[in-house]
Amino acid sequence: MVRQLTKIFTLMALLIFTSLALTSIAQAAPRLNELQYLKTYNTEVDGKEVYRIEVGLKRENINYTVKIPTTISSIMVVDFENTVPGRLSQHNSSKISLAEDTTASVKEVKVNYSRLQLRLPFVINEDSYKIYIEKKPYRLIIDIDKSALVNVEEETSDDNFNYKSGSIVIDAGHGGSDSGAIGPSGVTEKEVTLAVALKVQQLLQNAGANVVMTRTTDRDVSWAGSSNGQELQARVDKTPPGAAVFVSIHCNAFSNSITQGMETYYYWGSSEGKILATLLNEELANFGGRFNRGVKGANFYVLKHTSIPASLVELAFITNPEEEYLLANDDYQQQLALAITRAIKRYLEINPNGNLND
């Protein structure tokens, strides 16, 4: 009896082992798809004018997911499973220009996993496109409904405003010997804050404002090896007499990578700082659609030691992989910069000279 049972168990174990082994072989060698070409053109579908993006594929079977980073975005990301960039591989990480100002970049993010990022000349949302596979040749089709589009140029052109106010101080958090927080794929806070700050500077200067930057390159504002207080005081000291506002740009970080969202800070008890932080929060929330963690009072050095209305913004969590990806994205940075610029504009419309007695 015992012998027979042992035999049965041995047989069962063998069967289970064989099926597991077969499954793992099947998983180990998927048939890879390949991205073959990219095309864009205008066409008509069911009487509607569409802007079509065509991605040539080697095979029919493909799993893909589409992401639009925010509720109003000109960026579309398509992630392909078990797919290599194929003939598009010579364009790895570089931009391909397509029709109508569309650019694409193709990246093999991991082995057998490719990402196609499209930057479109208009803002899209989840209702403005259809995506499907066509045969002969196999291709992924993205049809964007032209009637549902907002032009990016129109979207950004309302930022011309006249300043009679004092200088605007923009502080790119961290820099030089201090990387700030670092994301899971290695993006540093100091590079994101500098990129966004430089875009804000450009937008404000284009609009006629006088902008003072605490730094415009990857450097310590004081000196490498200075104490935290010395470094932060060096930033505060950049504020010229009669400056109107001080905005410090940072990315958030937390040990749990799920934690996400944007928040803005003011110095406890500063009513003008609170208004500035509230406007920054509103504009960043309007643009981003990311989780809004709110407007908060805090005791941060640069808020406490500036004598003018000041706010510190935490754009998003660099420790959250999705937000790290957005923070490193040039177009997303531009949208963040536009939101910050709009908020400063609104603040200065209420209070053109800041409030020095605050």
Chain residues that interact with Zn ion, rule: CB under 5 A: 173, 180, 250
What does the block give as tokens for 19? 């099926």
> How far is 50 from 146, CA to CA, in rounded Å?
5
Cα atoms in the 13 Å half-sphere on the side-chain side of 253? 12
Cβ atoms within 10 Å of 165's Cβ, excluding its own: 21
Q: Rg (Cα) of the chain, in Å, rounded?
A: 26
**The token pair that represents 203 in the structure block:** 């937008």
Q: Closer to Zn ion by CB, 76 or 327: give it.
A: 327
Beta carbon of residue 174, minimum distance to Zn ion (angstroms, whole number)? 6
Q: Looking at beta carbons only, is 72 or 253 nearer to Zn ion?
A: 253
Contact 134, 78 (CB under 8 A): no
- In the complex, the smallest distance separating the C-beta of residue 265 from Zn ion, rounded to whole angstroms, is 11
Please check whether residue 118 is in contact with residue 143, taking contact to mean a CB–CB distance below 8 angstroms.
Answer: no
Shortest distance, position 279 Cβ to Zn ion, whole Å: 21
Comparing CB distances to Zn ion, the nearer of 173 and 261 is 173
User: CB 248 → Zn ion: shortest distance, Å?
Assistant: 8
How far from 171 is each of 193, 215, 263, 339, CA to CA, in Å? 8, 7, 16, 16
Q: How far is the CB of 281 from Zn ion (least distance, A)?
A: 17
Q: Is 292 helix (H, G, I), strand (E, B) or coil?
A: strand
Smallest distance, Zn ion to C-beta of residue 327, A: 12
Nearer to Zn ion, 207 or 253 (CB): 253
Task: Choose between 86 and 173: whose C-beta lies nearer to Zn ion.
Answer: 173
- Of 129 and 332, which CB lies nearer to Zn ion in the complex structure? 332
Cis peptide before 69 (omega within 30 of 0): no
Please tell me the number of Cα atoms within 13 Å of 105 on its side-chain side: 11
